[in-house]
Amino acid sequence: METENSDVKISIIKAAGRLFIDKGYRATTIRQICAEAGVNIAAVNYHFGDKKNLYAAVIHYYKDSAFNKFPLDHGIRTGDSPRSKITSFIHAMAMRIFGEDSEPQFGKLLVRELIEPTGELDNLINDIFRPSFLKLSSLVKEILGKNATDRTIFFCSMSIVGQCLYFRNSPRLAGRMMKKENFSRQEIQTLADHISRFSLAALENYLTGKSTNPKG
Amino acid sequence: METENSDVKISIIKAAGRLFIDKGYRATTIRQICAEAGVNIAAVNYHFGDKKNLYAAVIHYYKDSAFNKFPLDHGIRTGDSPRSKITSFIHAMAMRIFGEDSEPQFGKLLVRELIEPTGELDNLINDIFRPSFLKLSSLVKEILGKNATDRTIFFCSMSIVGQCLYFRNSPRLAGRMMKKENFSRQEIQTLADHISRFSLAALENYLTGKSTNPKG
DNA sequence: TTTGCTTTCATACAACTGTTTAAAATGCTT
DNA sequence: AAGCATTTTAAACAGTTGTATGAAAGCAAA
């Protein structure tokens, strides 16, 4: 059995990726994958061993694809202002999560794994979530200043990530743009612009803002 | 066949709810549900017709439970300040989404349905998402003021909802509190306090804040 | 106790699942 | 062209799924 990624393996990975993104791991059958890829039923087991291994290969493939195009420090230059750095980070994160046009939507796979872990979640946390979150936290800390506690930095970073993921997976409300399958780069930038603006406005007034006690 | 909710029906709904929340609709089998509820395997089909109908009953049951305890205007009094109103709204939303201790976590069912619609999604959008979102939007509008466009109000409301749902479904990062199965009321309030504070800081400076253009 | 209805039960069924197998086809080296 | 390893194929496998069935049990009213 070959170890490199042959054409057949790639075509299976891509077909499986489309289906996993669209229907999820469990609801996608090997027969569907093979039909979509135009290969025999036994091809998955021959080339990947089993369905679980194929899924891991799909995650790996799309993860590399997303982070090769938009690495963690994409658009961030050392001399940039904290505002500019966090804005660049959010834009790159949005591009990874949304994908462009018909590109794979890595964020959908991520969220699916969050909701219904298949066993790859631990790898994803170590490979993706943790380093990405740590990078974001360091940028958040630059904005909040030295008075911010680790807990505050943590919560604020969570708030930023949450916005990105929800925009990708929100329901269709009224006749608006959300819940589209694919977004153009222009639309992704519009969303990333909002998230950056919203988050920066929050971060720059988080420590000085009034209390939110409902009674007060 | 009875039309009221008998004891057996309730116990099946509750057992199914626990399993659907934990493993999702597809991964949960009727045999598991009946074992958990201590009833015969044919009970689901006898009392609910089929699995899909049972799922709809589960959604309906937990939805009513969550909104009876924490309705849309929970804690909101007419004379309250806009800040106080939106804070109360976020706290109630958090309670509905997280549930308390071992209470049903309605947010998990919601997000599962967002990620992998079973057909109930359209009902949920009409019954839950849309009215809740409209209520939140009206409160956001109060804070942003009359200069805010509908588009701005929409995006900012999305940002608030996104935070709540992500906190419920975030991965376990380091040894922190997230990705717990159950949250105490104290922990939910802590999260809601942060989300309120973050969002209010954002809303009150969104229109006056500087641009987020990465170049600037 | 008998009657008639509702509910429970063990069992069975057809459809679908991931996976395996052994033979056929293909490609590559000599 | 021959030999050999790799890949593809059709067919089958055992296990699980949601659902259906017909008999047994429960139960209230007469």
* pLDDT tens readout for residues B123-172: 899 999 999 999 999 999 999 999 999 999 999 999 999 999 999 888 87
For residue A118, the chain B residue with the least C-alpha distance is: B23
- Between helices A150-169 and A106-115, what is the axis angle to 10°? 110
Q: Is A83 on the interface with B (CB under 8 A)?
A: yes
Q: What is the DSSP letter of B127?
A: I
pLDDT of residue A32: 98
CB pair distance less than 8 Å for B176 and A165: no
Find the CB nearest A171 among B112, B129, B215.
Answer: B129
* pLDDT tens readout for residues A108-141: 899 999 888 888 888 899 999 999 999 999 999 9
Contacts of B214 in chain A (CB under 8 A): 75, 84, 87-88, 91
For strand C, list residues 150-189 of chain B whose Cβ lies within 7 Å of it.
Answer: none
Estimate in Å the CA A30 to C1' C29 gap, whole number. Answer: 35
φ/ψ (deg, to 5) at A27: -75, -10
Q: What is the mean pLDDT of residues A40-47?
A: 96
Contact A49, A17 (CB under 8 A): no
Closest CA to A30 of A38, A22, A20, A41: A41
> What residues have CB less than 8 Å from A77, skipping those under 6 apart?
none
> What's at A187, amino acid-wise?
E
Kindly tell me if the per-residue pLDDT of B113 is higher than 70: yes
Kindly tell me if the per-residue pLDDT of B56 is higher than 50: yes
Q: How confident is the model at residue B185 (pLDDT cuts 50, 70, 90)?
A: very high
Q: How confident is the model at residue A192 (pLDDT cuts 50, 70, 90)?
A: very high
Kindly tell me if the per-residue pLDDT of A103 is higher than 80: yes
Separation of alpha carbons A84 and A90, rounded Å: 10
For A108, the token pair is: 């959908």
> What residues have CB less than 8 Å from A190, skipping those under 6 apart?
none
Q: How confident is the model at residue A177 (pLDDT cuts 50, 70, 90)?
A: low
pLDDT of residue B1: 47
Instruction: Give the predicted TM-score (pTM) of the model.
Output: 0.92
Q: Does residue B177 or residue B40 have the better pLDDT?
A: B40
* pLDDT tens readout for residues A6-39: 889 999 999 999 999 999 999 999 999 999 999 9
